[in-house]
Amino acid sequence: MNFKSIIKKYYNKVASRTYKFATLKVIYPLVYNFYKRKPIDEKKVLLIEVRSLSLTDSYAVLDRELKARGDLNISYQFLGETILNIIGCFKRGLACVKELATARATFITDACQITSCVNLRKETRLIQIWHACGAFKKFGFSTALLKFGDSEKRMLKYPYYKNISYITVSSPEVVWAYEEAMNSSTFESKVVPVGVSRTDLFFEDDFVNNAKERVYKAFPKARDKKVILYAPTFRGRVRNARTGMVDIERFHQDLGDEYVLIIKHHPYVKNPPLIDERFDDFAADLSKTCDIEDLLCAADICISDYSSLVFEYSLFERPLIFFAYDIESYNDWRGFYYDYAELTPGPVFTTDEEIIEFIKNIDERFDKQRVIDFKEKFMSACDGNSTRRIIELAFKK
């Protein structure tokens, strides 16, 4: 690294720290305090997307049910963190704290420093509905001593989980993990196992049937074959996220007569591996074409690694396969809340050959009861009525 690079890196680091202090410690709190002089709007609901510039699937059911009430003033704030430049993020941050100041109920689905940097008025109910089910890989304060995480000191100085009234989770089993990850005792929030809003869709027959049709439209070859969904999580940090991949050529050779392969990479992965055009009739990357909810509905088998989507997929009681070829390095990097081998409700493999052999003999080797037990342990609060209970929490006196 040359001298200019060192200077540039140092300058960027100082600028970033200055910006964070100025916005989170000074500007945003001042703007919030100015606008909170106005009375609370009892009908105002705020939905905040931290990273996205549009409403994500985590809000699909909640937004629909809030609109169905017909008497609410619903505001949407898209912060665009990791997408917009510093000026764009600042402008959206200002707009968000202004709206937050008079909201009766506010919902977030991710770690959020803007809702955490103000002295939230007592009349406002802040609900963290999170974007995932269960408790798989560690996050938040649980990663303070791991390579993936930040230091506890910095997480307390610029918190992500402060002011939360309720944290809604998928079952009583995982309450302890979210209490640890979001430091609920320090921030005086309550973790409640009332279910995860996004899972309500899987209990609606019309949605499931229409979801399959959307997948078939995107990849017509899937209509007459069984569907293998490969959905790995990302590796590394958000800004340079990497992904895993199965051996498409081997899968095509050994399974192509009966199956098709659909791939769904994590949204953080910007440059996923390309599929050779030789396999266009067998494999398709639908990462940007289909929502994960649609793909879960259409999949006959799901292959993942460390992604929390396996909790949602367990609701269908279908085969799950875990491709953990880098388990040791990933565990050192991120860590898990439970012993990986004991948690997973399906076989754990490290090679493509093992996966292919299992699928060839899946009728004899699939242990459905193992998936059912997993579902009952980690998804017991997800029964199709989670959103109703979450809305009741938001507006109860």
Quick one: pLDDT at residue 160? Answer: 96
Reply yes or no on whether the pLDDT at 22 is more than 90. yes
The count of structural domains within the chain is: 2
Q: Are 117 and 25 in contact (CB under 8 A)?
A: yes
- If one compares 39 and 3, the residue with the highest pLDDT of the two is 39
Report how far apart, in Å, the C-alpha atoms of 228 and of each of 123, 260, 309, 350 are: 48, 6, 15, 17
Q: What's the CA gap between 220 and 298, in Å, rounded?
A: 12
> What percent of the chain stands above pLDDT 70?
95
- How would residue 242 be classed by pLDDT, with cut points 50, 70 and 90? low
So what's the pLDDT on residue 11? 58
In this prediction, residue 259 has a pLDDT band, given cuts at 50, 70 and 90, of very high
Tell me whether residue 396 is exposed, middle or buried, using C-beta atoms within 10 angstroms of its C-beta: 0 to 12, 13 to 18, 19 or more. exposed
| Same-domain check for residues 185 and 241 | no
The yes-or-no verdict on residue 78 having pLDDT over 90 is yes
If you average pLDDT over residues 47-72, what whole number do you get? 96
Residue 107 has pLDDT above 80, yes or no: yes
Region 271-285: mean pLDDT is 90
Range 275-284 average pLDDT: 93
Angle between helices 28-35 and 86-100 (to 10 degrees): 30
Q: What is the pLDDT of residues 290-313, one digit of tens each?
A: 999 999 999 999 999 989 999 999
Closest CA to 394 of 133, 168, 96: 168
Residues 6+ apart with CB under 8 A from 208: 201, 202, 297
Summary mean pLDDT of the chain:
93
- Range scoring the smallest mean pLDDT among 14-28, 323-337, 354-368: 323-337
Determine what percent of the chain is predicted with pLDDT higher than 90: 81
Q: How high is the pLDDT of residue 14?
A: 65
pLDDT, residue 215, reads: 98
Q: Do 93 and 57 share a structural domain? A: yes
How does 155-180 read in b/e, with b if 16+ C-beta sit within 10 Å? beebbbbbbbbbbbbbbebbbebbbb
pLDDT at residue number 232: 92
State the virtual CA torsion across 269, 273, 279, 284 in degrees, nearest 10: 10
Query: What distance in Å separates the CA atoms of residue 260 and residue 290, rounded to the nearest whole number?
Result: 16
pLDDT of residue 271: 82
Whether residues 209 and 272 share a domain: the answer is yes
Whether 308 contacts 344, CB under 8 Å: no
Supply the pTM of this predicted model: 0.92
- The confidence score (pLDDT) of residue 326 equals 85
Q: Are 337 and 134 in contact (CB under 8 A)?
A: no
Q: pLDDT tens across 174-211, in order?
A: 999 999 999 999 999 999 999 999 999 999 999 999 99
Window from 124-138, 151-165, 267-281, 356-370 with minimum mean pLDDT: 267-281
Do 285 and 183 have their domain in common?
Answer: no
Do 66 and 145 belong together in one domain? yes
Type of residue at 229? L
Residue 15: Cβ within 10 Å count = 11
Do residues 145 and 272 both lie within one domain? no
Residues 238, 173, single domain; the answer is no
pLDDT at 80: 95
Higher pLDDT, 384 or 266: 384
pLDDT value for 43? 96
- What is the 3-class SS of the chain, one letter each residue? CCHHHHHHHHHHHHHHHHHHHHHHHHHHHHHHHHHCCCCCEEEEEEEEECCCCCCCHHHHHHHHHHHHHCCCEEEEEECCCCCCCHHHHHHHHHHHHHHHCCEEEEEECCCCCCCCCCCCCCCCEEEECCCCCCCCECCHHHHCCCCCCCCHHHHHHCCCCCCCCEEECCCHHHHHHHHHHCCHHHHCCEEECCCCHHHHHHHCHHHHHHHHHHHHHHCHHHHHCEEEEECCCCECCHHHCECCCCCHHHHHHHHCCCEEEEECCCCCCCCCCCCCHHHCCCEEECCCCCCHHHHHHHCCEEEECCCCHHHHHHHHCCCEEEECCCHHHHHHHCCECCCHHHHCCCCEECCHHHHHHHHHCHHHHCCHHHHHHHHHHHCCCCCCCHHHHHHHHHHCC
The CATH number of the domain where 105 resides is what? 3.40.50.11820
The yes-or-no verdict on residue 145 having pLDDT over 80 is: no
Q: What is the pLDDT of residue 390?
A: 98
CB under 8 A, 24+ apart: contacts of 322-330: 322/346, 322/347, 322/348, 322/349, 323/230, 323/232, 323/244, 323/246, 323/349, 323/350, 323/355, 324/348, 324/349, 324/350, 325/244, 325/350, 325/351, 326/235, 326/244, 330/235, 330/305, 330/306
Residue 32: per-residue pLDDT: 98
Neighbours of 328 (CB within 10 A): 9
Cβ(90)–Cβ(23) under 8 Å?
Answer: yes
Q: Which domain holds residue 276?
A: 205-378
279 and 172 in a common domain: no
Does 269 lie in the same domain as 174?
no
Together in a domain, 13 and 146: yes
- CATH code of the domain covering residue 221: 3.40.50.12580
Condensed to tens digits (0 to 9), the pLDDT of residues 323-342 reads 998 888 887 777 899 999 99
245 and 268 both lie in a single domain: yes
Q: Are residues 131 and 213 in the same domain?
A: no
Confidence grade of residue 56 (pLDDT, cut at 50, 70, 90): very high
